Amino acid sequence: MNLFALLDQTATRLPDRGAVYLGERRVCTWAQLRDRALRLAAGLGPAGSRIAIASENRPEIVELMFAAWAAECVVVPLNYKLHPREMADILADAEAAVVFASPDIAARLRGHTAVPVEVIGADGYAARLAADPVVPPRHTDPAALAWLFYTSGTTGKSKGAMLSHRNLMAMTVAHLADFDDPDEHCSLVHGAPMSHGSGLYIPPYVARGARQVVPASHGFDAEEFLDLCEHHPGAAAFLAPTMVARLVDTGRPRPANLRTIVYGGGPMYVESLRRAMTAFGPEIFVQLYGQGEAPMTITGLRRADHRLDADDAVLGSVGYPRSGVDVAVRRADGSFAGPGQIGEIVCRGDVVMAGYWKNPEATAATLADGWLHTGDLGSFDERGYLTLRDRSKDVVISGGSNIYPREVEEVLLTHPGVTEACVVGAPDPEWGEIVVAFIVGTATPEELDAHLLDRIARFKRPKRYEYIDELPKSSYGKVLKRELRARLTT
Ligand code: AMP
């Protein structure tokens, strides 16, 4: 089993339809894409080599991924917003054979890495495309690695989750079964980075012959994104919750062709979700809960769950287990938690990674007794919906009580004078930790206290409010709690 087969089948079935677009412009058909990938594959290898990609969103990322798979190699997409030194660390850790970089990123990488840098679109790249095409692989072991997925490192040093062809095929099938049912009259618009969430969705949309649309800005611009969803048919996209908020902030109505927004990768607060559903219609939304270790696929809140009259418990949840994934909540002693009881979320199934690259200790800690230990805390309710609390290390323990930041943040965000809120624990000699809320907005501490006292237990109330202009976020839109905590101790 090899993911290249998805492109091969589509190119055979729909050779002359448009495959990859840059903005509104067609870059190639499916037959041309297959041909380019097979020619690029000739210069890659041997099987198992790591082929890194460091680029803003570009059309060539699609052909490079399939080229690597055609050569039975492993793609290593890098977050191009990292510091060149951080990229170099990942390239060294992955022992990459080559890194394909956009001209800008190649210039930044120069002098930082010993790994050969091939500039996408330059002469060397053109020469690779002139090679004779390889014969598509027929006998790839499904357990062979397809993607080394470096985690975003919000919790420390980035680790490479080893994702096999089987893992990504399980993800593909679950996406098509649970979330979206595209065909050749549809498009995947790459709003989020293709090195991460958006890139993982390339296989399901290629399998169905849906266009791959890369914005001409190579990044995310709300107006441009909405324009592309007016232009391209049956548009679907994966977006971080902050990107969804930016679309809503434009005040524009739903574009005629926008069909599906899959959001996730970080918390979507109920208040923001209701705003987005009101602006664009509830039926286009789907929420995923996943992590690099079980790519995009642990639980999901389906299209049908997104109703304006749905209760907050459903809209604030991450839905229920994805097809083919077994999900459970376990207490500290390893026993299974019942409805309403909070514990660590664990899962198993074909989507779960084989382990971390060259890191047996981290693998043993994360893949223990047959389950992937997500490090996220949550609880199922009586109806089977999973509510995510926080990552276990983000829970604030104050005076012996556990306080889940997400719960306090949800309530803070319902105050009209708050645009963003993030709750962390700060060390305190008396309480162990105290709750500190970082606020973007104009509401005063007195107003916020009164608002919270009406809605949640007194002990969960922040003991301190810190006002800032904007919450620090990673390039994937995740709030960097680590940075906020550091501000409290410096
Ligand atoms: P990463 O592997 O970098 O994609 O990060 C995965 C982590 O993001 C998960 O373990 C969760 O803590 C968080 N996450 C993913 N999806 C959601 C979601 N729908 N709601 C809240 N947090 C999420």
**Calculated CA dihedral for residues 423, 428, 431, 435, nearest 10 degrees:** -10
pLDDT at 154: 52
Pocket of ligand 1 (CB under 6 A): 151-152, 264-267, 287-292, 318, 374, 376, 388, 391
Comparing CA positions, the residue from 295, 281, 286 lying closest to residue 248 is: 281
Q: How far is the CA of 296 from the centre of ligand 1 (A)?
A: 9
**Of 388, 391, 407, 479, best ligand 1 pocket probe by most atoms within 8 Å of the beta carbon:** 388
Q: How far is the CA of 192 from the centre of ligand 1 (A)?
A: 15
pLDDT at 70: 98
Which atom in ligand 1 lies closest to the alpha carbon of residue 388? 21
Coil/strand/helix, residue 346: strand
Which atom in ligand 1 lies closest to the alpha carbon of residue 161? 2
Low-confidence spans in the chain with pLDDT less than 50? none
Question: The tokens 């927004």 sit on which residue?
Answer: 261
404-424 per-position pLDDT tens digit: 898 899 999 999 999 999 999
pLDDT at 490: 62
Q: How far is the CA of 390 from the centre of ligand 1 (A)?
A: 10
Please report how the helices 270-280 and 405-413 are oriented relative to each other, as an axis angle in degrees rounded to 10.
50
**Burial class (CB within 10 angstroms; exposed 0-12, middle 13-18, buried 19+) of 129:** middle
Q: How far is the CA of 203 from the centre of ligand 1 (A)?
A: 21
Which atom in ligand 1 lies closest to the alpha carbon of residue 268? 20
Which atom in ligand 1 lies closest to the alpha carbon of residue 293? 2
Coil/strand/helix, residue 177: helix
467-482 per-position pLDDT tens digit: 999 999 887 778 899 8
Which atom in ligand 1 lies closest to the alpha carbon of residue 476? 3
Percent of the chain with pLDDT over 90: 85
Edge-to-edge strands of the sheet including 187-189? 25-29, 18-22, 211-214, 187-189, 235-239, 258-264, 285-291, 294-301, 320-321
